[in-house]
Structure 1
Amino acid sequence: MKTHLKALPKVVVLMLLLITATISCKKDKKVEPTPVTPTSSMTGTIDGKAIKLDANALTSTYYSSAGDDSKALETTATLNADGDKLKFFINDLKNGITNITKKSGTSLNPGSHTIRLNADTQSPVQSYVTYYSASNAYFAYSGTIEVLITETTITVKWSINFKDAAGREFNSAGSFTFVNFIATTKPKSEVKDPTPVAATPTIENISPTSGKSGDTVSITGVNYSTVLAENDVKFNGTTATLKSATATRIVAYVPQTGTTGAITLKVKNSDLTTGPVFTYVQPATITSITPQQAHVGDTVTVKGTNFSTVIAENEAGFNATPVRLAGTVISATATELKVIVPQTALTGAFTLRVRGGATLTWDFVVLPTPPPPTTGGTWQDVNVPFNFSEMNMAVSAGKSVLFANKGQKYLYYSADGATYKNVIDSLPFDRVNVIINRLAVDNTTYYVATNLGLAKSTDGQHWVKLTPSANLANQGFNGIVARRNTVVVMNGSTVFWSNNQGDTWNNQTMDKGGAIYLDYIFSDSSGKYFYSIDVNRDSGDGVTKTLYVSTDQGKTWSAQNAGVTGRYLFSGGYPELYGSTNSAQFLLYSPTTSSIFDMRVFRSTDQGRTWTKVSDDQTYFVKVSGTTVAFGDTKLHLSNDEGATFKIVDIPAGFSIGGYVKTDDYQYIFCTKNGTTTHKIFRMAN
C-alpha cells in the first residue's frame, strides 16, 4: 500500500476502496432495452365486418401425445356479444402454409359413411376453419393458413372462403397471435371431429335467416333424400312444403301459418335434427311522411315499422314512379327511410314495397319546380382590387364565398361576395410551403385540404388545424369529403374519418380494389357513393383511366367499369372535375389525350357505371349547387333540373371562365380577359 494511505485509519481506507469499486461498476453497467412482451390478439375481417380482439376473446387447446411428433392446435375466437365465433383447427402443427379444403362430412364434401378413416400419427381430423353465426355453421371450403411458431408463441395468418346455403360466397382474412399456446394441453385422442362422416342428417346453415310466408329458404347439410316426400322440414313445428332437394341441400317454402322458431328436419326414419332459428318478418307499415309536400330533389322521411335495413329491399315510388333504380332511398332502418324525390315524381300516391311484400300508399304532393337561373340578367363586375389566377376553385355558405388556386399563395374570403380578404396567413401552416389542394364546405363550416394538412373555419377567417393522424401532424391530402358533420380524407393506403367535424378521428387501411394509390376523393350529394382516382396511374400517357367507387365511406374500393373514363387533370390545376345532384353525377375528363383542350363534361345516372357526354364544348370546370349544374369556357352552360337540360348563358364579351360558384343571392364566375393576364370576378343575381 502507498505511504499516504498507510497514514490513514484502516476504516477510512476501506471506505475509499468501496466507493472506488462502486463507481467503477456503475461505469461498466450496460442499460439493457426493456423487452417487448407479446400479447394474444386477433385482427382481420369476415363477411365485410372488422375483427379486433384481445386475449380475453381467445382460447386455445394444444393436442400432443407421447411418442407422436405430429401435434394439433384448436383456437377459438369469440367475435362479439352475440356469441359469433371463428374456430381454427390445424391438424399437423408446424411452420409453413396449410391449404384449406372442403371439410369432410359437410354439405361441401359429404363423403361416404361406409368408409372409415384410419388413425395414424397425425390427427384423423383434417385442418378446417368454421364460422358460427346465429346458430349457423359455415365451413371454409378453400384458402390458406400460414403458421409461424416462436418458442411457445404462435402467429397464424389466414385468407379463406366460405359459402352459405343460398350459394352466396364471402371471405375472411387476418391474423392472430397466441402467447403460450401450449398452456392447455390434451392428448390427441381427445380431438373431436365436428362433422364425422355418418348416416345422420345434419343442418349446417340456412339462408336467409328471416323472411315472410311464401319465401324460399335454403338448408344445407348432409344425408338428405332426393325424394321430396322423405324429407320432413318444419318451421317451429309447422310443416313446410319443399321446392327441391339434393343430398346436401333442401329448398323449402316458408309456411303461411308458421311462427318464429327453430327449423327441424327428419329424413325417412331418422332422429330429429334441430337447426338455426328462422325469424318471421311482419308486414311493413307507414305511420308518417315528413314533409308531405316537397320539391324534386328534396329528401323526405318515411316512418313506420318493419322496414328492411337493406336499402335495395325498400322500393319507393312517387305516383307509381319507381325511384329505387335511381338509388334515391339513401338510408334505411327498421323504422325510418330517407327518400329523395326524383325528377319524374308527380303529385299523387307515395308507394312503398318492402322485401317484395304488399304495396303501401300515402298521399304526397310534389311542389312546382323553381324557375331556372336567369339567362337574360346582367353580369356585374365585382371590381376586386387585386389580381388572381386563371383557374379557381370556390365554395360558398349562405352569402359568403371562399376561393383559391392550386399552387398560388392566396385564399380569398368574402362575407357578402363584394369585398374580399386574403386569409391565407390565417391558415395554421407555413405560407412559404403550403399548397391548397381542395376546398370543401359543410353547412356553414369551411375546410381546406393542403399539402401540409387540414384546417377548418366557421367564419372563413379564423382557421383551426385538424390532425387526422396523431403520428403525422403535417400529412398532406389532395381531396376531402365533408357532409353532415362527417369529414373523410385519404392518403395512400389509409382512410381517415371524423364524425364530429374533425375534432376526433378514426382510420383504417383501405381495400383499394387493385388501385395503387388513391388520394383524390369526392362523393355524391348523399354521401353514400365515394369516388376516387388512382393517382399513380394518372400519368400523361393518354391511356383511359379507371374511376374507383366506395359505398362504405372510402374503406373498400372497386373499379367502376375500368377504361370508360379518361385523363383527369386536377394535378395540372383543374380540381373542379366532379359534381353531384340527387339523381346524377358529372365528371370532367379528357377522353383520349392528356390535353386540357380535350376536357369535356360527362353525366352518369347510375352511380358512375356509365358516362354520357353532355356537350362537345371545351370546359375547365364542372360545378353543382343543389339542382343547378354549371360548366363552360367562353360561354356558361347552366341547368336547373340536375343536368337533364342546359341553357347557354352569355358572359361578358372577350372573357373565358375559370371557375363558378353560387350563393344564396348570386352566381359568380371567375374570368380571364382573352389574350391577357387580366382577371375579373363577375356576378349575376339568382
Structure 2
Amino acid sequence: MTVFSIICVLSCKSDDDDVILPPKISNFTPALAKVGEEVTIAGSGFSTIVTNNKVNFNGVAATVNKATATSLSVTVPEGATTGKIAVKVGELEATTATDFTVVLPPTATSFSPKEGIIGTEVIITGTNFSTVTTGNEVKFNGIAATVSAATSNSLTVTVPEGATTGKIVIKVDGQEVMSTTDFIVIFPPTISSFSPEVGAKDTEVIITGTNFSTTAADNEVKFNETIATVSAATATSLTVNVPAGATTGKISVKVNDQIGVSSTNFRVEQVVTTQDFITAIDENPTANQNLGTVSATTTDGTIAYALSSQTPSGALAIDASTGVLTVADANLFDYERNTTVTATYTASVGQSTSQSTITINLNDLKIDSTGLIAEYRLDGNVQDATTHGNHGSEEGTLTSITDRHGITNGAYQFGMGGFNGGHFTIPNILTGSNLSFTVSMWVNRSGTSFGTLLGKNNSTTTPLYNLSIKGGVFGQNTLEAKYQESISSSAVSTNTNTNGGVINKDIWTHVALTVENGSVIKIYINGQHIEESSSNTSSINPNTPNYEIIAIGSMDKGNGERFFGAMDDILFFNKVLTDSEIAALAADNF
C-alpha cells in the first residue's frame, strides 16, 4: 500500500511539469519613458531566463535586463514609438492593454527671425515640444528665455535680457535639441569716439564704436538731429560727412531701431570767408544811400553782418542780414572833411567769424572845376587850397569855430571886435573888364544889420562889385548884389527884397553870385536861382586908397559894413557856372 502510493505520487508530478502557462501582463511602469530608459513589466508566465523573454515596444525589440516569473526589466529601444508592449515566451505572447508612450526628443527645424534685439519675439518650429509652456525649457546661448505659447511643433519665446549670439537649445522632459545655426542677438550701437571733434559742412568724420551694421544704409547717423550720409561701414566703424544744416551737438547712430548717442558734442564749424570792399562815390551823398553789398561766403548757415569799427565813427550802416552798406551820416561824406571813409566789417555764422575792410573813396566836387581860381576852406587859415596860390590875409580878429559838418576849427567867425571887426582880403584875382565870374560860399548870419559878404570898393581903375545882406530893419535880411564896370558908369544890381530870398539867422545857408560880361547879375540861395537883373542903378562909390584887393566879410580892407556871422568854403571861378552847377554845389554841401 505504501509503495503504490509513492509510485502514484511521482507519476502525477511528472505530468504537471509538462504544462506551460502563457505570459500575462498586468501593468508596466512607468507609463511613458524616453529611449534608453528602463521599464518594469509586471505579470506572470515570464521565463526566469532573461533571453527566453522577447519584448517589443510597438514592434521594436527591446533588451531584457532582468527577469523573474512575474517581472521583467527592459530598456526602451532606439527607434521605439508609442504603442503596445508585447512579451513573448516561447511561442506564447502577451500584449499590454494600453499603449506605452515613448517620449521622443524635441527637434528644431527653424526659427524666425534669425536675428533680433533683446525682447524680440522668436517663433521656433520643430517637433515633440510640450504643449504646456512650462514643459519646454528654451535657452539663447545659455540664457533662459520665457515661453509664452506652445504647441507640439511650435514655441513662441522672447529673447531674454543678457542673451548673446549663439545656439538656441530646447529641452523637453530632459531631452535637448540644439539649433544648427546661431540666433544673432542685435545689441544697441555704442559710440566710443569720433574724429575729428570739430569740422565744417562736408568734413569726413570717423565714428568708432560697436554693434554697427556692416551695411552702410542700415546705419542712421545724425549730427544733432540732422541726418548724415554713411559712406562706409564696419561693425566698429562708420565713415560719414557732416551734413548741411548740422549744428553743434551729440552724434547719434541708429541700428535696428536701437540708438547709441555720443557722450560729447561734435562742434560744427561754419567757415566764413570775407573780402575787402572798395568803392568810390561822389562826396556828400544822400542819407541812406546804398553803397553796395560786402562779399562774404560760408560753408553752411546764415551770415550775420556787423561793423566792428569805422572812421569817421557813425558814417556807415550795414544791414545785419544782407550785408548792404548805406550812408548813415551824410555830413561825414564831405571830401574836405574826409577824403576816405573806412571801416572793418565782421561776418559771423555760429562761432565762426571773418573780418575784412571797407574803403570808400570820396570824389571831390562833382561839377567841372575848370576855372576854379581860388578856394578858401577857412579851416584855421585863409590860404588858397588850389594851386594858384591866391592866399588871403587876415584883418582884425577871425575866430575858428565848428563848421556845418561838425568839424572843429572848420570855419571862421567874422565881425568879432565890433563894427570894424575881423575879415580877410585876397588879391584882385578877377582882372580885366566886362568880367564874368562866380562866387560860392556858405554863410551863417548872426547879426541883424547890413553886412557885406564880398566887397571890391577900393579901386579907381578896375570894376567894382559887392554882395551883401541888407539889414533886418530895412531889407528884412535879404540878399543884394551890385556890379560897376568903372567909376564913371552906373552899377548893375539885383536884390531879393521882392522875391523872398531871406538869409535866415543862425543857420548855414549856401549863397552864390554870378556876373556875366559885367552886365547880368544872378544871385542864388541854397542852390535856387532867386533873382537877376541887367538894369542900371546908382553908382558904387569907390573907397580910397586904391588897394586893388577883394575883401571877404567887409566892403573893403579898411571900411566898415562888416558881416557878423560865420563863413566857410568860399570858391571863386573865372567863369559863369550854370544853374545846375550851382544847385550841385549846394546839394553836395560843398
* Shorter-chain TM-score range: under 0.3
Query: What TM-score do the two structures reach when normalised by structure 2?
Result: 0.26
Query: What TM-score do the two structures reach when normalised by structure 1?
Result: 0.23
In proportion to residue count, which structure has more strand? Answer: 2
